[in-house]
Amino acid sequence: MEILTRIRSTRAVVDGWRRQGQRIALVPTMGNLHAGHLALVEEARRRGDRVVATIFVNPLQFGPQEDFTAYPRTLAEDQRRLSGAGVDLLFAPEVEEVYPRGSAEPSRVEVPALASALCGASRPGHFTGVATVVAKLFNIIQPEVALFGEKDYQQLLVIRRLTEDLCFPVEVVGVPTVRESDGLAMSSRNAYLNSVERQQAPELYRSLCAAADALRAGRPAGRVERETEAALQGAGFRPDYVAVRRADDLGPVSEPGGEQVILAAAWLGRARLIDNLRVRCGGAGTQ
């Protein structure tokens, strides 16, 4: 696996592959990799001739009170895992390479229709930061396909929308959430849980499963949201939100039926956990 930190040299390598007619698959990450990231790489290998992974802890997507400085950085171990998973090129730039004029006032990509609700309401500017860096990575690597985890469901929709609106010729693929054996969605932020919280954490997934059952049974979305929030509180979480939305655009569910998604964000100690489940109401099947 080649490891590069500069845009110019990364472009040169990827351009060479493209000239040979090879299809480029991109897996953007912030590092501190777990099995969920490796599932993205695996899917990328199925869909591309060459896999480019990126590791970049993007300051623009962290709020002033958030964990940018404390975010776990594990580059050596990440390199080992990516190389073992069959990544061809790792692009791991410094902040100055991506934001040469500083990250305070770069040109930005806004996705207003999707970015201000749910996680965007509690993390103002977060999705603008994500959209901006993803657009930059699309411009630098120019992949045919890019892979993102469905655990960050709102992020996935934001990226799909910006790709469509800005006419990037990139296929955006969502990869199902990878879970621990007790159901907890894999996340770099699970490392913030102490041992007692780690025992409590799977209750988030269990509450979403119960909510999905209730929605499939025809229970109104508002009631399911309230009951799920109460269940999370009872299990020791500080819920940020629980919301039932249309799965394709996160719009409000005005009538029963169709593909819905139940999303939740909740604090447990110093970890803000998020998870979601898609639910087909009036038919069969969930995520």
Active site residues: 37
**Looking at 5-13, 70-78, 130-138, 272-280, which segment touches ligand PAF (CB under 6 A)?**
130-138
> Using the rule CB under 6 A, which residue among 10, 14, 24, 29 binds ligand PAF?
29
Q: How far is the CB of 147 from ligand PAF (least distance, A)?
A: 10
* Residue 134 binds ligand PAF (CB under 6 A): yes
Q: How far is the CB of 117 from ligand PAF (least distance, A)?
A: 17
> Using the rule CB under 6 A, which residue among 58, 132, 163, 177 binds ligand PAF?
58
Q: Quote the CA–CA distance of 202 and 180 in Å, as a whole number.
A: 9
| Size, binding site for ligand PAF by CB under 6 A | 10
Q: Is the dihedral of CA 179, 185, 189, 194 positive or negative?
A: negative
* Residue 133 binds ligand PAF (CB under 6 A): yes
Rounded to the nearest 10 degrees, how much is the dihedral formed by the CA atoms of 51, 139, 175, 217?
A: -170
* Residue 141 binds ligand PAF (CB under 6 A): no
Q: How far is the CB of 203 from ligand PAF (least distance, A)?
A: 24
Phi–psi pair at 116, nearest 5 degrees? -100, -15
* Residue 247 binds ligand PAF (CB under 6 A): no
- Nearest residue to ligand PAF, scored by beta-carbon proximity: 28
> Using the rule CB under 6 A, which residue among 43, 78, 88, 152 binds ligand PAF?
152
> Using the rule CB under 6 A, which residue among 28, 36, 48, 174 binds ligand PAF?
28
Question: In the complex with ligand PAF, which residue's Cβ is closer, 156 or 261?
Answer: 156
Q: Does residue 18 contact residue 105 with C-beta atoms inside 8 Å?
A: no
* Residue 154 binds ligand PAF (CB under 6 A): no
* Residue 30 binds ligand PAF (CB under 6 A): yes
Residues 6 or more apart in contact with residue 32 via CB below 8 angstroms:
71, 72, 73, 74, 78, 188, 191
* Residue (of 240, 239, 244, 237) closest to 268 by Cα position: 237
Q: Is the dihedral of CA 149, 151, 154, 155 positive or negative?
A: negative
The footprint of ligand PAF (CB under 6 A) covers: 28-30, 58, 61, 130, 133-134, 152, 155
